[in-house]
């Protein structure tokens, strides 16, 4: 497949340009909003404050938790992979809408960003429940026997995100044929 990453297909309409700008701003804000709570998790100095933060975030039920000194760091590491996938997905969304704003709708560049965004959605939907289950084990490991927990759940949100990621992935497959056709047309002109 020839790379058509730099030549715009056409100037985007003003409404599309405005939408692209709004999505790019939202993606950057989303990245910041994902990273800030992670920093507060790392800086939680005592177990009680950490437990309160995790309960408020919905990551831990309102139960007695006895945590070891480095539990905050272990919890942060467990949440780092799904967080990194989410940040990567938002970054790909930012780049995708940057390509759209510059008129590159049917290009290899746009296709790659959309594919990576779709894969990030799929990976995040699978990693999030696994990380939360592992987190529940780590956070209750210091509890007395009989009070330790493994909380496993798979929500309708995760199911919806898997389907949404699959839709975007299917769109990239269809879009790759369109990009190939556009590249062939350009080569004839």
2-58 residue pLDDT tens: 444 445 557 788 899 999 999 999 999 999 999 887 776 666 555 566 666 666 766
Query: Could you give the angle at which helices 108-140 and 47-56 cross, rounded to 10 degrees?
Result: 130
Q: Tell whether the torsion through CA atoms of 162, 92, 100 and 187 is positive or negative.
A: negative
pLDDT digits (tens, 9 = 90+) for 83-129: 999 999 999 999 999 999 999 888 899 999 999 999 999 999 999 89
CB 139 within 8 A of CB 63: no
What pLDDT, on the 0 to 100 scale, is given for residue 69?
63
Nearest Cα to Cα of residue 76 among 48, 43, 38, 132:
38
Nearest Cα to Cα of residue 169 among 112, 84, 87, 128:
112
């Amino acid at each position: 497949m020839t790379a058509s990453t730099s030549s715009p297909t056409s100037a985007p309409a003003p409404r599309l340009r405005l939408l692209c700008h709004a999505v790019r701003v939202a993606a950057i804000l989303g990245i910041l909003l994902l990273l800030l709570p992670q920093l507060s998790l790392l800086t939680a100095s005592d177990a009680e404050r950490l437990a309160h933060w995790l309960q408020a975030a919905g990551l831990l039920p309102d139960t007695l938790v006895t945590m070891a000194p480095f539990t905050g760091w272990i919890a942060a590491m467990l949440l780092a992979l799904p967080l990194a996938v989410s940040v990567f997905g938002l970054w790909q969304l930012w780049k995708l809408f940057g390509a759209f704003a510059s008129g590159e709708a049917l290009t290899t560049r746009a296709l790659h960003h959309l594919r990576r965004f779709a894969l990030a959605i799929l990976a995040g939907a699978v990693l999030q429940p696994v990380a939360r289950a592992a987190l529940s084990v780590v956070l209750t490991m210091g509890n007395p026997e009989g009070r330790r927990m493994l909380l496993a759940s798979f929500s309708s949100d995760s199911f919806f995100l898997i389907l949404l990621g699959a839709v975007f992935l299917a769109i990239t497959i269809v879009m790759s044929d369109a990009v190939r056709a556009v590249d062939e047309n350009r080569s004839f002109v």
